[in-house]
Structure formats: structure tokens, C-alpha cells
């Protein structure tokens, strides 16, 4: 939905405009049907405005004619409320000059920048592309082929390579900013628009709202961008992950009825794998893996560069072979997905595991021979007990083929309900495995404990109990850390929207789970200071300095504590 006041695009069914806050009416879609007094006008005596192409939160885009060359161009004119800010005008000019240096064929060319109406009207002249944007392509053509997806997204990544090398971060990558042009030979090319223009709305401390409009689009906003942190090229790669998710599933990874709700999910909610979101499309595992890595919430865990992501995407398409040219959903056999183990391998692995466990129990419970003496290690090794029953005889010459199963003591071994088909042996190569050797090693280790005077093995049992307790403690600590991080992110979001009391509640809860986290204490200090509780703020700041003695902002915090 478009805002009737500022023209910004909003999510469907949004109640308030994310840009200016005006109440929205679902039946009214912005400026539809209203006359545009710029049509037919000539800007600076050079560009005749011919038609409206589109509109966003920053401005409106027109098809125009460059009169001296009789060439078709696109002209973007900033909305008056945006152009009225002198800082925006200055940055707009600077970023226009930066974007004009990009010459990559997958980046939309910027030709000119100008002012009109005594400087009140700011415009940018760009290459005119005759073709849909990626969002229109997804809506009209349905599931695409993996090769086409790889080509279009790969073209965007190539344009990003040049931009990032030039120090330009796009900051507002989304399907509407990727046009699809077709050359005279029928080949498709992605064209990335608005390079660098989103930088003009950056402000210290916040990347969400500046001069009344949103910097970035909530559905494609990286977590660090939502937090107002400094951005780099990996923030663009997160947006590319969202875009790739849309091409694979037909939906964005996160979407709620409000911008803040969507941003919060980017910060805290795990990404549902594309294959689970759209199971009927049979999304190739190789493409899904590329998408999910780009969508890691920790930027250090994403691809390091656009070139690295493009190489991974190319490899994923190549791995599909002929299937890469068939639309998603038209095939089910994915050569890039790890194959489930065949039943005979599963059963073999299960049999080997049970055999090893049985040998260990038998030896542990009755390690001595008929005469009451401990068997030698050589006798144990020569017994030749194997998973397949192939060890010929035991030390007394008994035939294991005729052994009475009633004599095998399996007390304490819980095999009820064990389904050999359900044993997960993916990645375990049981073919040719030396299970006989494994059983001998287990028996020898038990006898080593006995020979050392360890008795019936309590040390081994105690060590096992300690290991289980340690593992349980580690899992509990990991769960607490994840919950603390979620609470911390929720607190940051509440602080950004000036819900100070709610932010303090979240930060306090996070601090209880992670009492030695310096960043949580720092944010608590900020929140308490904003709330006017100076004593509580100083306590939090002192704790912050204790936990981070080498903090780069130590002198600033010390001035706060000193009352300066």
C-alpha cells in the first residue's frame, strides 16, 4: 500500500505508514488517479518528463527524453519533504556522484544530477530499462528454473562486487530495485537500481527512521542494519539471501503486519529452511544451503564477499546438471541432497553397535575364566568375537554357533522399541568396518582397568555419569545464552522505539541469564540514563567497566560516572 501523504510503500494491511506515521486506509492506494503536474514539463531545459514509471518513499521515477540527444532516460525526483532537508540534498549530490562511477553492466548507470525550482527540486538522471523488476517476474512467471535464478542473482552479485570494491554499500536491496532487461539477442540481464542512494538517509545511532522515512525495507533488512550499527557489504549479502529465498519459495523469510514486527523477526527468529516453507517446489539442497548461509544473523558467519557467494551459487547450479533447466517443483530427485542410507547399511550399522555393546557387557560382568583366573589379553584377542558371529571359538573351545542366547547377560541394555531403520548413520561408512577389532579394543580396555586394580569398573561408570552431567550442563548453558540474546535484541528494539521501560525489563532479564556480558550492562546503563534513574545507570556502567576493562569508550563512561 502507498501512503497518501508521502507516497511510501507499506506492507499490505499495514495500519500506519512506516515512513511518516499517517493512518492508512486499505481502500486508498496513495496517489492513484491524481494528476501529476510534472508531466510534459522540461527540467533545466534538457529533460522532458513523459510518464510515471514508479514511486517509493524517497521519490517518484519518470520516463523522460533528453532533448539534445533525443534519448530516452529515467529521471528520479525526490519528494518535496525529503529534498527540503539540506543534509539530504548534500548527501544526495555526493552519493549521485559516487554511483555515477559504477560502470558494471549489471548496475544501472547514473548520467546526471540537477536542481530545479530554485534548488527545491532535486533530480537524478539514469539509464532507462525496459523490463519488469524481480518482484513482477516472480508474480507473473511463477517458479523459475535454478539456472535462471542463478543467472539473475549472480548478476546482482557481480554488480555488488564492483560497488563494494568502491566502498559503496547499497543498503536497500530488494526485488523492486532489481530490473530485468532483455538484450537484442534475447538474453536476460539483472540491473541493480539506486546504488548508494540509501546512504543519504543514514544517521548516527539509527538506520531505521531519519527525516520521517525508513532506511531500508523491513523484509530485506539485515539484523545489524535494524540495530543501527555500521554496515558493510555483508549486510547487502543478507538482503540477497532474502531475495534468493523469495525466488526459491515465492515468499520472503519474515513478514508480519507491521514493520517493527518484521524487523524483530529478522533479529530473533530462526529462518525456516526454504524446502520446509515450500515443500511442493522440491528446492535443491545446494541452493538452499547458499540461501541459508547468506541469512545467518551473525555477519561473520555469512559469505565474506559477493564474489564468494556468487562462486557458491554457480557451483550449486552446476551440481544440478540437466535439472538446472527445469522449473522448481517439476522434479523430485535432487542430486545435491545427501542420500539416506540404504536399509542393508542401516541394519549392518545397528547390528555392529549392538554386538559391540554386548561384548563390553559380557566382559565387564564376568571377566574371569572357569578356574577363577583372569583371562590373558592374548586369549581375549584370540577369541575373535565378531559382529557377524565369525569368530571360530572361545578360550575353552566352545562353538559360538551353538551358544545358548539365554546365557548372554544383557541386563540393563534397553533395546525395546529400537528401530534399525531409524538409526541415523548418514555420513558413517560401515562398509568394510572392522567391528571385530573394535570389540577387542573395548574388551582390552576393560581388562586394563581390572589389571590396574580398578575392580568391577566403577571409575568407568562414574566417568560416564560425569560426561552425561557435563553434556546436560553445556546444553542448558547454550539454551540460556540463546534466550539471553533474544531478550537483548528485543530490548534493543524497544529502546529504538523509545519504549524505555520495556527495554529495561528485557535487558534486566538478559543480564540475569548472562551476568558477565559487558554489552548488556552497557545497554542497561543507557536505558536507565534515558529513564532518568542515574543511580541505576551508574551501577550498570560500573559493572560494564569491570567486565570490559579495556573498553574503547572507557573515558566517556568514566566521565558519566564522575557526573561530567
- Spans of all domains in the chain: 42-127, 134-325, 343-456, 478-561
Q: Using pLDDT thresholds of 50, 70 and 90, give the confidence band for residue 422.
A: very low
pLDDT band at 13 (very low <50, low <70, confident <90, very high): low
**How long, in residues, is the chain?**
564
Please say whether the dihedral angle defined by the alpha carbons of residues 304, 305, 309 and 311, taken in this order, is positive or negative: negative
- Quickly state the pLDDT bin for 236 (edges 50, 70, 90): very high
Averaged pLDDT, 248-252? 95
Catalytic residues: 172
Residue 47 has φ and ψ, to the nearest 5°, of -120, 120
**Lowest pLDDT segment from 41-50, 180-189, 330-339, 501-510:** 330-339
User: What pLDDT does 150 receive?
Assistant: 96
Which has more confidence, 215 or 129? 129
C-alpha cell of residue 461: 561408570
Residue % of the chain over a pLDDT of 70: 66
- Whether the pLDDT of residue 98 is over 70: the answer is yes
**Tens digit of pLDDT for each residue in 290-302?**
999 999 999 999 9
Give 180-215 as a DSSP string.
Answer: EEE-TTS-EEEEE-STTGGGGG-BTTBSSEETTEES
Tell me what the mean pLDDT of segment 79-98 comes to: 80
Name the more confident of 308 and 82.
308
Mean pLDDT, rounded, for 31-39: 68
More confident call, 136 vs 414: 136
Has residue 443 got a pLDDT over 50?
no
> Which has the closest alpha carbon to 413: 351, 354, 363?
354
3.40.50.300, 3.40.50.2000, 1.25.40.10, 3.40.50.2300: CATH of 478-561: 1.25.40.10
Q: Which residue has the higher pLDDT, 442 or 216?
A: 216
Does 379 score more than 90 pLDDT? no
Rounded average pLDDT over 337-364: 56
Residues contacting 489, CB < 8 A, separation 6+:
223, 227, 264, 267, 268
pLDDT at 73 over 90: yes
List the single range of 11-20, 148-157, 266-275 with lowest mean pLDDT: 11-20
pLDDT in tens, 167-224: 888 888 999 999 999 888 888 999 998 875 555 544 333 333 333 344 678 999 999 9
Report the range of poorest mean pLDDT among 215-219, 441-445, 557-561.
441-445
- Look at residue 419 in the predicted model and tell me its pLDDT: 41
pLDDT of residue 258: 87
When pLDDT is averaged across residues 64-73 and rounded to a whole number, the result is: 92
- Is the pLDDT higher at 446 or at 89? 89
**Count of Cβ atoms closer than 10 Å to residue 343 Cβ:** 10
Q: Output the pLDDT for position 433.
A: 40
Distances (CA, A) of 389 to 328, 351, 394: 49, 11, 12
Instruction: State the pLDDT at residue 552.
Output: 82
Query: What is the distance of C-alpha 238 from the center of its chain?
Result: 7
314-341 burial string, b = 16+ CB within 10 Å, else e?
eebbebbeebbeeebeeeeebebeeeeb
Given the candidates 1.10.150.20, 3.40.1000.10, 2.70.240.10, 3.30.200.20, the CATH classification of the domain at 42-127 is 3.30.200.20
Q: Is the pLDDT of residue 394 over 60?
A: no
Task: Give the single-character DSSP code of 218.
Answer: G
Cell triple for residue 28?
Answer: 486508498
Q: Average pLDDT, stretch 531-548?
A: 89
Ranked by mean pLDDT, which of 117-131, 344-358, 390-404, 434-448 comes out on top? 117-131
Q: pLDDT tier at 266 (50, 70, 90 boundaries)?
A: very high
> What phi and psi, each to the nearest 5 degrees, are found at residue 490?
-65, -40
Query: What CATH number does domain 134-325 carry, 3.40.50.300, 3.30.110.30, 1.10.510.10, 1.10.10.10?
Result: 1.10.510.10
Q: Are 102 and 166 in contact (CB under 8 A)?
A: yes
State residue 470's pLDDT score. 65
Q: Please check the confidence at residue 89 and state whether its pLDDT lies above 90.
A: no
Taking each helix axis from N to C end, the angle separating 146-165 and 285-294, rounded to the nearest 10 degrees, works out to: 30
Mean pLDDT of the chain: 75
Answer whether 528's CB lies under 8 Å from 542's CB: no
Could you tell me the pTM of the whole model?
A: 0.56
Residues 6+ apart with CB under 8 A from 450: 367, 374, 457
Task: Give the pLDDT score at 228.
Answer: 84
pLDDT surpasses 50 at 88:
yes
Cα angle for residues 541, 260, 54 (degrees, 5° grid): 130
Amino acid at each position: 500500500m502507498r501512503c497518501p501523504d508521502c507516497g511510501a510503500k507499506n506492507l499490505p494491511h499495514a495500519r500506519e505508514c512506516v515512513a511518516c506515521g499517517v493512518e492508512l486506509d486499505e481502500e486508498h492506494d496513495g496517489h492513484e488517479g491524481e494528476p501529476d503536474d510534472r508531466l510534459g514539463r522540461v527540467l533545466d531545459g534538457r529533460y522532458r518528463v513523459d510518464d510515471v514509471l514508479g514511486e517509493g518513499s524517497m521519490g517518484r521515477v519518470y520516463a523522460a527524453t533528453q532533448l539534445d540527444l533525443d534519448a530516452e532516460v529515467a529521471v528520479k525526483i525526490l519528494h518535496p519533504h525529503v529534498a527540503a532537508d539540506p543534509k539530504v540534498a548534500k548527501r544526495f549530490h555526493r552519493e549521485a556522484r559516487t554511483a555515477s562511477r559504477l560502470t558494471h553492466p549489471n548496475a544501472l548507470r547514473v548520467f546526471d544530477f540537477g536542481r530545479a525550482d530554485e534548488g527545491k527540486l532535486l533530480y537524478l538522471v539514469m539509464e532507462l530499462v525496459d523490463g519488469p523488476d524481480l518482484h513482477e517476474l516472480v508474480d507473473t512467471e511463477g517458479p523459475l528454473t535454478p539456472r535462471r535464478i542463478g543467472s539473475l542473482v549472480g548478476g546482482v552479485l557481480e554488480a555488488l562486487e564492483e560497488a563494494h570494491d568502491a566502498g559503496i554499500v547499497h543498503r536497500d536491496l530488494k526485488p523492486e530495485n532489481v530490473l530485468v532487461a532483455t538484450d537484442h539477442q534475447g538474453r536476460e540481464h539483472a540491473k541493480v537500481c539506486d546504488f548508494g542512494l540509501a546512504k543519504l538517509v543514514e544517521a548516527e545511532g539509527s538506520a531505521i527512521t531519519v527525516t520521517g522515512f525508513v532506511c531500508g525495507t523491513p523484509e530485506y533488512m539485515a539484523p545489524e542494519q535494524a540495530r543501527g550499527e555500521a554496515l558493510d557489504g555483508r549486510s547487502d549479502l543478507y538482503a540477497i539471501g532474502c531475495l534468493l529465498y523469495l525466488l526459491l519459495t515465492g515468499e520472503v523469510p519474515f513478514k508480519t503486519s507491521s514493520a517493527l514486527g518484521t524487523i524483530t523477526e529478522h533479529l530473533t527468529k530462526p529462518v525456516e529452511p526454504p524446502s520446509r516453507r515450500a515443500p511442493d517446489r522440491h528446492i535443491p539442497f545446494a541452493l538452499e544451503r547458499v540461501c541459508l548461509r547468506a541469512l545467518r544473523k551473525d555477519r561473520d558467519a555469512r559469505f565474506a564477499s559477493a564474489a564468494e557467494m556468487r562462486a557458491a551459487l554457480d557451483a550449486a547450479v552446476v551440481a544440478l546438471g540437466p535439472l538446472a533447466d527445469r522449473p522448481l517443483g517439476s522434479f523430485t530427485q535432487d542430486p545435491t541432497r545427501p542420500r539416506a542410507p540404504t536399509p542393508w547399511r542401516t541394519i549392518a550399522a545397528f547390528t555392529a553397535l549392538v554386538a559391540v555393546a554386548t561384548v563390553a557387557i559380557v566382559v565387564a560382568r564376568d571377566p574371569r575364566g572357569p578356574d577363577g583366573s583372569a583371562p590373558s589379553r592374548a586369549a581375549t584377542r584370540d577369541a575373535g568375537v565378531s559382529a557377524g558371529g565369525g569368530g571360530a571359538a572361545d578360550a575353552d573351545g566352545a562353538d559360538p554357533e551353538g551358544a545358548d542366547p539365554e546365557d548372554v547377560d544383557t541386563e540393563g541394555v534397553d533395546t525395546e522399541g529400537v528401530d534399525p531403520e531409524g538409526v541415523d548413520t548418514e555420513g558413517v561408512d560401515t562398509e568394510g568396518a572392522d567391528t571385530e577389532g573394535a570389540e577387542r579394543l573395548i574388551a582390552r580396555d576393560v581388562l586394563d582397568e581390572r589389571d590396574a586394580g580398578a575392580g568391577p569398573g566403577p571409575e568407568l561408570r562414574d566417568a560416564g555419569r560425569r560426561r552425561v552431567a557435563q553434556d546436560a550442563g553445556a546444553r542448558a548453558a547454550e539454551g540460556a545464552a540463546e534466550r539471553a540474546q533474544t531478550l537483548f535484541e528485543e530490548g534493543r528494539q524497544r529502546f529504538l522505539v523509545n519504549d524505555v521501560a520495556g527495554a529495561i525489563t528485557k535487558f534486566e532479564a538478559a543480564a540475569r541469564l548472562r551476568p558477565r556480558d559487558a554489552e548488556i550492562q552497557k545497554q542497561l546503563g543507557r536505558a536507565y540514563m534515558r529513564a532518568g534513574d542515574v543511580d541505576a545507570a551508574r551501577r550498570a556502567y560500573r559493572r560494564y567497566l569491570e567486565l570490559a576493562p579495556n573498553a574503547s569508550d572507557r573515558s566517556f563512561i568514566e566521565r558519566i560516572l564522575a557526573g561530567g
